[in-house]
Each structure stands twice: as structure tokens, then as C-alpha cells.
Amino acid sequence: MKPINQLICAVLLLCSLCTTTLSGQEKDQLFTVDRFTLQSGQESTFKDMVTKMTEAYVANGINRDIHWFRRDDGDYEVYIPVADYADVERLDYDFSYAYNSQIDTVARAKIYDQAVWPKVVKEQRNLIMKEIAELSYQPEGDEKIEGIAPYLEVTTYRLKPGVSWMDLRTKAREWVSLMEERDSPSNISFFVPDLGGDSRSFQVEIAANSAADLARRRSMQEGLADETTKQWQNDVSQMVEETGKTVVEYLPEMSNSDHDKYQATMLVVQRNYVSATEMDDYRNAIKISNAGLRAGKADLYWHSYVLDNGQAIAMAPIEGFSGMDEVYDKLRRRSYQIEPDRQEAYKRAREKVDGVYSEMNIMKYHHEMSYQPSGDQADLPRDYLVLTELEVKPGKMEEMMELAEERAAKDMEMGSKTPYQLYTYRAGGASNRIVIAEFGPNAEALESSMAADEEALGSWKQDFRKRLEEVIESVSVAKGAQDMEMSYLEEK
């Protein structure tokens, strides 16, 4: 086998599977953008239908950001980030999956009724927009707006005849540098149409928390003006013309943007069985492989944990089975960039751990049976893991899932502290088992939060535990910390 092919196989075997994550200002981002012009008097009906659709997404664990905005001209827009054009196609699957999950025909009609829709929506337009990372800017510190801004001013420009995109891109990069040098308070995103729309136009979105906040930031920005910035503005005015401006407000009640950032539709788990005597050599082999991927600028990431049952597991989220194609494709495309000396080093390290064997599972995430705390607890690191696997008695799976949903609802009611995710095997595992992953920043903190949650449940847990014992055949528990050397995470 050729060294490069050998390395591909080894990487696929040892490094587990992974998926892309958004990297903020470091990479461009595609969005599908749909704009809806409504029939007169149909705003309330439209908002109700969209809210029902979002609820169906959430109920089915579909982990997509869905950002709804209302323009000052009365139109509505929805921005959905996508990984690539293949992901656009997966949007149709997600919609169908969520829509068809509503068994009640009345519930379906509230989401989308072909007879009602034309009476509500006058016109729908679609295009693909790309946010250009290097031409966008976010300040540091308190002026940085995290997540989706409540208020946006969107200005559309068009290149004047004779001006090339290369010319404009150069000037836009200059502006970003000028803002960085002056610590500008502005949060700016630069968008271009990737499919549909005017190929010589672009949008500049300025984010703020409110109209007053936008005015405050603009005043601060004007105070930073000097001869250099004034000259830049004069130069750009000769290159572009403004063709439109609108203000849009974010609609969180129609959107899906506050979901658990660790959640996914599915999870790929590779369990590597490593003896205590092999662990150091195994970790070294993974480090060498990870260094090769990093040198090749691989943008696929996973978390690895070493458990007390002798397993070194690697976990990565994917959006459905099609996500596997993306993983394999990225690994193969990146592998050619790994230098020969790294390949040889990895080969030698891998030979020392030939006794390690692996098994791979694909697991389905169940949003409605999982729990994510709010407030400060939501953002705690997940560096320690308790993995509980329950074997369910024959014919009791439906009852088990009902109990799991009941427990999640109780945790929501009580404001429990411990985040957990519930999975069932979708491929590579037994259909009568569920896996619960509980996370914390370290062993002590996780054990403390779990104990506090149990105590808060009081007498309720006694009846619940009795019903649970009636459907559970066996329980296995494994614990362990994240191994940062074997994980492959996005660089900050």
C-alpha cells in the first residue's frame, strides 16, 4: 500500500470521525436567505405558521440555526447557515422530516397548508449569500456583540462601471485594518450574493442592540475619523453607489438560535480499546496524526475522552448520515498535504499499538429527552464525561423513552444544573439500548451538580426510579476526562 493511502486508512481508523464547525471570523459562511412579502392582514397567521415549524424542528432534534428578521418595509427574511450546496439539499430533508413527524393532520396544517399558504404569502424570493470573513469586523471587549444582534442596519451597494471586485476587496481589507487600529465599536458583516441577486452588488450589515445603540456606536465611529479614514471614504465613494438601505429586527420567538451548541442530529462515536501499557504509545500516534492534519489546515474537529473502562473514545456531531460523506471527503482531501516525514513518523508510531482495536457507532440525538441548563451553567466547559448505557427490557423501549422525556421535563421545571444528552443507536449498536452523556468542567464539579439535582428532585425521584427499574435490564457507567492531546479542536 502506498504511504499516503496507508495514512488515509490510519487516520480514518485512529482519529475517529469529525465534522466542520463555524469558525467565526476565520472562514466564509454561506446562508440560504428567503424573503417573504405577505398578503395584507396575514402577518399574525404567517408568524404562527413559522413558529410551529420551528417548534417541529426543535422537537425532532434538528440542530440548525434558523434566524428570522422583520424588515422595516414589512417583509420577513430568514437566514439559515449552511456548510455547502449539498447542505442546501439537506434542508429539504430536514423540513420534510419535521413536517411529517406531525401525525395529527391539524398540526401539519398549522405548519404548512398548501391551500392556505398562497393566501398568506404574496411572494417568496430565495438566494444564497456568502459572508466574507476577512472583510467583516468585530471589536474586542464589551462592544463585541455575541450571537445574533437584535437590531441590524443593512445597506446595499453596487460597483460602479469599470470597478472590479479585486479593487473593492483590497479597499475593504484596508477598512478592516483601519477599524482594528482605531478599536472601532462597530460590528460589521460583509455579504455578497453567491447564487441569485445582482453579481455586482454587496451588503454591509451593521449590528447593534437597538436603534439607540446603533446611534451611539455611529457617533463613536465618527469620533475616530481622521484624514486617513476620510481619504478612504472618498476613494470608496468613487467605486460604489448605495442602492438601498433597510433596518431589520431579530425575531427570537420564530427562530432557533439558542439551542445547545453541543447538540447535533447524530453523533459519531469511535470506541478505541487501549490497554494501560499501550496508552502512551497510542496517544503519541494520535498526536502525530493530529499534527499532520493541523499542518494541512484540516477544518474537521472532534473531542476525545479517556474512560475508566479502558476505552479512549472520540465523539463528533454530524447532521444525518450524509454528514459521513463530508467527513471522509475532508479527510481524503487533507491527507495529500501531510508531508512524507510525518507519514513515516505516524507509521512507526502506529506499529507500536497494533493491539488496539476499535468499533464505531452512529447515534441519534433526542432533543426532547435531553436537558440543557440556562444561565451560567450553560456555558461551563465539558471537560469531564459520565457515560451511562441502559439496556432496556424487551418490548419496553417506548415506555423507556416516555420516562426519559418525563425526566427531562422535570429537570427543566426544577432548573437542574447538569447538562445531559440522550442518544439511541442508529447504526453499529443494539436497538434496545440508550446512552446518556452527562458533562461537567471536572469530576468534582460534575459529581456535585448531579448530587444537587438528585436532592432537589426530592420524593419525586423515588416513584420515578421505581418505574425506571421496571423497564431497565442492566446499567453500565464509565467516566473520564477529555484528553486534549488526542482531541482535534478548532484553534482559537
CA distance 467 to 465: 5
Domain of 352 in residue numbering reads as 3-19+264-482
pLDDT of residue 16: 30
pLDDT of residue 14: 33
pLDDT of residue 11: 32
**Both 305 and 322 in a single domain?**
yes
**Both 144 and 221 in a single domain?**
yes
pLDDT of residue 293: 79
Give a yes or no: residue 162 inside a domain.
yes
User: CB-based contacts of 118: which residues, under 8 Å, 6+ apart?
Assistant: none
Percent of the chain exceeding pLDDT 90 equals 54
- CA-based R_g, the chain, Å: 25
**Both 231 and 271 in a single domain?**
no
Give a yes or no: residue 283 inside a domain.
yes
Tell me which of 205, 223, 254 is where a domain ends.
254
Tell me which of 225, 254, 283 is where a domain ends.
254
CATH number at residue 67: 3.30.70.100
CA distance 55 to 318: 21
pLDDT of residue 57: 72
**Both 50 and 196 in a single domain?**
yes
CA distance 430 to 432: 5
**Both 133 and 282 in a single domain?**
no
Task: Check if the beta carbon of residue 321 is closer than 8 Å to that of residue 266.
Answer: yes
**Both 118 and 228 in a single domain?**
yes
**Both 150 and 294 in a single domain?**
no
Cβ-in-10-Å burial (0-12, 13-18, 19+) of 340 comes to exposed
Q: For the chain of 492 residues, list the mean pLDDT of each consecutive stretch of 10.
A: 34 31 57 95 92 76 82 95 82 70 60 80 94 93 89 96 94 95 95 92 96 94 93 96 96 75 68 91 88 78 92 85 72 66 80 84 87 77 93 92 93 92 89 93 94 91 93 96 91 74
What is the reported pTM? 0.57
Q: Is 416 helix (H, G, I), strand (E, B) or coil?
A: coil
pLDDT of residue 97: 67
pLDDT of residue 171: 95
Per-residue pLDDT reduced to its tens digit, 303-329? 999 999 999 999 988 876 767 777 777
Give a yes or no: residue 490 inside a domain.
no
Structural domain count of the chain: 2
Tell me which of 203, 233, 254 is where a domain ends.
254
